[in-house]
A and B are shown apart, each in its own frame.
Chain A
Amino acid sequence: MNIFERIEKIDRRIIFLLVAIAVLLPLIFKVRMEIPISEPVKKAFVSVDTLSSGTYILISVDYDPASMPELQPMYKTLLMQCFEKGLKPVMIVQWPLGLPLSIKAMSEMAVEYNRIASKEGKDTVVYGVDYCNIGYRPGGVAQIVGIGKEIRDYFESDYKGTPLDSLPMMKDIHNYDNFALLFCLEAGSMGEMYVQYANARFGIKIIFGMTAVSAPDAYPYLQSGQIIGLLGGLQGAAEYETLMKKPGFATMGMTAQSWVHVLIVLFILLGNIGYFIGRKKRRS
């Protein structure tokens, strides 16, 4: 049995082990790679960055723990950008299991920003005044359409049960017209619903931050101008972190990602060479 025949019959558990090692080594030894910036991510970043202070931005957190490694870094970086630019982010959740994640990241980033702001003598951010989370409500498409008229028809209170009118920043906020942007963090198809109803019917500008699995489906919307920016998977998150000059989990993870990609390509090549050599031998 030659080496290629052995490779053809390799135990899949050895491949799992090698993939695990390829992930772990760059993380432990902090190997860093340059992150080139793609046009869709740059457009997304610039669209948020050029908004004037005090502008409202709606962030839809539509994912659960299964998509956390890809979307949570995007969400955190976006929140930090909002706080630094003085924007007023309003979080809305379409996936019930996304609510704890949205609250956790929101609280962490507010604490982190306030720590930095206090050191630099800047204004700190306060819940209900500078940012808020109106939580999850069922309804899906009907709700997306309904928010176009009045947000209170579906969200009378925030995630804590505080009436929206009791939150100073929400007093004059009624529908999509009050938001400059809708940033959708998507692990499923809710983003498409926002495009079909919120953008097509009410004209709100949309940016997508998507899991890698869903990202290819969003490119037609980007090309047609229905969305103005797109962050795809961990790569998109890493690019956003790079643009923010705040390298975090995504930037670190991309090195491991690249190592595993090289390994997978290698396996595909070796597997095919082994297959063709084996076939030739069997035929002869």
Chain B
Amino acid sequence: MYNFWAIFGIWMAAFLTLAIFSFLYKDNPFYKLAEHLYVGTSAGYMLIYTYFLTIKPMLIDPITKQQQFFLFIPAFFGIIMLTRWFPKIAWLSRWSIAFTIGIGTGLAITGSIQGILIPQIKGTLIALHGWNWTTLNNLLIIIGVISTLTYFYFSKAHKGVIGKTAKIGITYIMIAFGASFGYTVMGRISLLIGRMYFLFHDWIPLIH
């Protein structure tokens, strides 16, 4: 049994879905209304989340309830980020940015080498023995990696062997783009199916 607010929610969601879909016909005030509502509610939602799941439990509560006063240091760095709004003292924000970039770079370098570069090189060092489908697949992977890397090698003109290898590389890249585009179409259609299912199952129960 649905209550009033559940029904109201379904009608509201249906109206907003149709308002967004109406853009497919042409731009109109209903679309604009839905778009602005989306941006506004998302921003409001994020604000509440940030306060109740970050600032309160990780800063205010530890300081007020557990007297963890060292947290004033990260709080200070967080606050001076906001000085970017005031040109005269905007330089202060660079301290926080430097801190963030330092951590980000450190994590990214270790992550990229340990988590991508080495395992991916290992994944390319694959056996080529016997005449079977696995060997053919492995061969395709090896050719793909070498030729694609050659395509991105710009220190020598793409002529002769390098030029031909680079052409194979670009073919691999195009196939990868095609696969990505195919998957993207599937993803977008899935979203449409989801909305259609909502409209004709939850709102107008035609789909059972």
Is the pair B49, A136 in contact by a Cβ cutoff of 8 Å? yes
* Minimum CB–CB distance for B208 against chain A, Å: 8
The interface residues of chain B lying within 8 Å CB-to-CB of A46 are none
Are A225's CB and B193's CB within 8 A? Answer: no
User: B141 an interface residue at 8 Å Cβ cutoff?
Assistant: yes
Q: Which of B53, B184, B193, B200 contacts A137 (CB 8 A)?
A: B53
Chain B residue contacts of A36, Cβ below 8 A: none
Q: CB within 8 A of A196: which of B25, B57, B112, B195?
A: B112
Is A106 on the interface with B (CB-CB < 8 A)?
no
- Count residues of B near A (Cβ-Cβ below 8 Å): 43
Mask of A220-232 contacts with B, CB within 8 angstroms, 1/0: 1001111000001
- What class of interface size applies to chain A in its complex with B? 35 or more
Q: Cα distance A235–B50 when bound, in Å?
A: 35
Does A13 lie within 8 Å of B25, measured CB to CB?
yes
A145 touches B107 (CB 8 A): yes
User: Which of chain A's residues have a CB closer than 8 A to the CB of B53?
Assistant: 96, 135-138
Q: Is the CB of B193 within 8 A of A256?
A: yes
* B176 partner residues in chain A, CB cutoff 8 A: 216
- Which residues in window 244-266 of A have CB below 8 A to B? 249, 252-253, 256-257, 260-261, 264
B195 to chain A, nearest CB (A): 8
Contact B190 A70 (CB under 8 A): yes
B114 at interface, CB cutoff 8 A? yes
Q: How far is the CB of A276 from chain B (nearest CB, A)?
A: 20
The reply to whether B57 and A234 form a contact with Cβ atoms under 8 Å apart is no
Q: Using Cβ atoms and an 8 Å threshold, which residues of chain B touch A225? A: 119, 123
Among the stretches A18-26, A108-116, A123-131, A175-183, the one at the interface with B is A18-26
Shortest beta-carbon distance from B201 to chain A in Å: 8
A23 touches B192 (CB 8 A): yes
In the complex, are the beta carbons of A27 and B191 less than 8 A apart?
Answer: no
> For residue A201, which residues in chain B have a CB less than 8 angstroms away from its CB?
114-115
